[in-house]
């Protein structure tokens, strides 16, 4: 066979959220506000759950990790996206694109697993309250979080390596605002069966597996709540997991909308809108969901704002019920 006379792609061009020139600056302002709110809210959650003694419990430990993941996920996407709004040629190098995809996969997979861990934490707290501090020990929490990050890193390495092992030798225009695997594989000039299979199996395994844990946990939580005699007891039990239920519904609803569409109806433009939601909007909403419905967080925030020395003096970093 004669050698192929092709030019290998060394950089990609991102189309962005919209290719309309008059919308670039307004969209820049909108997403800048979203990113600033995301950073402020999640940094606030990390700070409060780190320094306030009342928030040194497994639930808030997992919440702090979720806030860190949300910070990372947004930071992998938003800065480059914001810069591209102000540039006419929205280019990204081959290796920069690979790094962005790997970072995105690491944080999104970690978030999926973290939400499942938080559901398990609520299950133990409501269904086995007397054994809660024994079952969900500090050592177990650290182990589960470490395994979550290790699994997220491994998935990112495997999937991004498969995607960027393909040949890109024709078009280099990515129909997206960041380097995602689906629009990247659409540009490849080689057989994409293997990487597409890896991407599908990885996404299906992570989403379905974690969703099963969430559903089983909340099914048992619902049964336990129904067994509580007093309406006040049921209300208090429900309130401890209401914020997580809301966050899970929004997050998994968006992912399922994106990945469970029939292939004939699959649109990269639809993917872009869904991606905006779970990479930028959800990380901004999570701090609001967990703080506005949580008396402990609101109380800690009020004390922190009125007397910043108070939480630091009270903190001894032990698990409390």
Q: Summarize pLDDT for 11-55 with one digit per residue, the tens.
A: 899 988 888 888 899 999 999 999 999 999 999 999 888 887 788
**Res 230: pLDDT:** 79
For domain 11-314, the CATH superfamily is Rhodopsin 7-helix transmembrane proteins (1.20.1070.10)
* Domain-wise residue ranges, the chain: 11-314
- 284/75 Cα distance (integer angstroms): 12
**Res 227: pLDDT:** 84
Q: Any idea of the CA torsion for 164, 281, 284, 157, to the nearest 10 degrees?
A: -10
Could you tell me the pLDDT band of residue 308, with boundaries at 50, 70 and 90? low
CA 213 vs. chain centroid, Å, equals 17
Could you tell me the pLDDT band of residue 266, with boundaries at 50, 70 and 90? low
Give the residue-averaged pLDDT of 265-292. 80
Give the residue-averaged pLDDT of 141-168. 94
How far apart, in Å, are the Cα atoms of 119 and each of 99, 241, 283? 31, 8, 18
Q: Which residue has the tokens 């939400």?
A: 115
Written as six digits, the tokens of 2 are 């004669």
The burial of 183, by beta-carbon neighbours within 10 Å (0-12 exposed, 13-18 middle, 19 or more buried), is given as buried
State the pTM of this model. Answer: 0.88
Query: Ramachandran region of residue 145, left (φ > 0), alpha (ψ -120 to 50) or beta?
Result: alpha
Q: Which residue has the higher pLDDT, 87 or 236?
A: 87
Residue 2, helix vs strand vs coil: coil
Give the residue-averaged pLDDT of 226-236. 80
Query: Ramachandran region of residue 228, left (φ > 0), alpha (ψ -120 to 50) or beta?
Result: beta
Q: Among 106-115, 224-233, 265-274, where is mean pLDDT lowest?
A: 265-274
**Res 307: pLDDT:** 66
Residue 13, helix vs strand vs coil: strand
**Res 191: pLDDT:** 86
**Long-range CB contacts (< 8 A, 24+ apart) of 147-152?**
148/65, 148/110, 148/113, 148/114, 148/117, 149/106, 149/110, 151/109, 151/110, 151/113, 152/105, 152/106, 152/107, 152/109, 152/110, 152/113
Q: Which residues contact 78 (CB under 8 A, 6 or more apart)?
A: 31, 34, 35, 38, 279, 280
Residue 129, helix vs strand vs coil: helix
**Res 189: pLDDT:** 86
| Contact criterion met (CB below 8 Å) for 117 and 257 | no
Q: Among 48-57, 114-123, 151-160, 215-224, where is mean pLDDT lowest?
A: 48-57
Could you tell me the pLDDT band of residue 315, with boundaries at 50, 70 and 90? very low
Across 100-114, 270-284, 285-299, the highest mean pLDDT is recorded for 100-114
**Res 245: pLDDT:** 86
* Mean pLDDT taken over the chain: 85
Could you tell me the pLDDT band of residue 292, with boundaries at 50, 70 and 90? low
Give the residue-averaged pLDDT of 108-124. 94
- 114/107 Cα distance (integer angstroms): 10
């Amino acid at each position: 066979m004669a050698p192929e006379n092709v030019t290998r792609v060394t950089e990609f061009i991102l189309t962005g959220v919209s290719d309309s020139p008059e919308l670039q600056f307004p969209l820049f302002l909108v997403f800048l506000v979203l990113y600033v709110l995301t950073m402020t809210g999640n940094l606030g959650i990390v700070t409060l759950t780190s320094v306030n003694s009342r928030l040194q419990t497994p639930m808030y430990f997992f919440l702090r990790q979720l806030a860190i993941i949300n910070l990372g996920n947004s930071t992998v996407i938003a800065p480059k996206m914001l810069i591209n709004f102000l540039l006419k040629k929205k280019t990204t190098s081959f290796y920069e694109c690979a790094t962005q995809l790997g970072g995105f996969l690491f944080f999104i997979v970690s978030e999926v697993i973290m939400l499942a861990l938080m559901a398990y934490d609520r299950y133990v707290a409501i269904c086995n309250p007397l054994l809660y501090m024994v079952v969900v020990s500090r050592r177990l929490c650290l182990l589960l979080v470490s395994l979550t990050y290790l699994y997220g890193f491994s998935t990112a390495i495997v999937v991004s390596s498969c995607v960027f092992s393909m040949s890109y030798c024709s078009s280099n225009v990515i129909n997206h605002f960041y380097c995602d695997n689906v629009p990247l594989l659409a540009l490849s000039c080689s057989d994409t069966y293997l990487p597409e299979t890896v991407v599908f199996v990885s996404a299906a395994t992570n989403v379905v597996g974690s969703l099963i844990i969430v559903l089983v946990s909340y099914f048992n939580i619902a049964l336990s709540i129904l067994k509580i005699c007093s309406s006040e007891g049921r209300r208090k039990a429900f309130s401890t997991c209401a914020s997580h239920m809301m966050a899970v519904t929004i997050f998994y609803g968006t992912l399922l909308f994106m990945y469970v569409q029939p292939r004939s109806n699959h649109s990269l433009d639809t993917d872009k809108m869904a991606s905006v939601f779970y990479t930028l909007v959800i990380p901004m909403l999570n701090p609001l969901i967990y703080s506005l419905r949580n008396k402990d967080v609101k109380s800690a925030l009020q004390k922190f704002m009125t007397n910043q020395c108070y939480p630091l003096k009270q903190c001894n970093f032990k698990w409390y019920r």
